[in-house]
Amino acid sequence: MAFGIGTNFTNDVGAEPMNMVIKMVEARPEGQGWLPVIKLSDVAEKNTGDPEMISLAKRILSLNGNSI
């Protein structure tokens, strides 16, 4: 499981934080090759990744409503 890279992680020197978002698009499990990932959002239009994998994840997680 992974979570976003936030302001405190990308800016630990006290400078004014930049208004940016970094999203993970691939993961490389130890000893394996790169694998694509998806991101589920509270806003369906903000889901990212392969639409088939998003649909599969929503079915597995029983997320059948309008959110996510």
Please report, as a single letter, which amino acid is at residue 22.
I
Give the count of alpha carbons within 13 A of 50, CB side only: 8
Q: What would the pLDDT profile of 17-65 be if each residue is shown by its tens digit?
A: 777 777 888 999 999 999 999 999 888 899 999 999 999 999 999 987 6
What pLDDT score was predicted for residue 20? 74
What pLDDT score was predicted for residue 63? 87
Rounded to two decimals, the pTM is: 0.63
What pLDDT score was predicted for residue 60? 94
Ramachandran region of residue 46, left (φ > 0), alpha (ψ -120 to 50) or beta?
alpha
- Binning the chain into helix, strand and coil, the percentages to the nearest 5 are 25, 10, 65
Cα–Cα distance for residue pair 55/18, rounded to 1 Å: 33
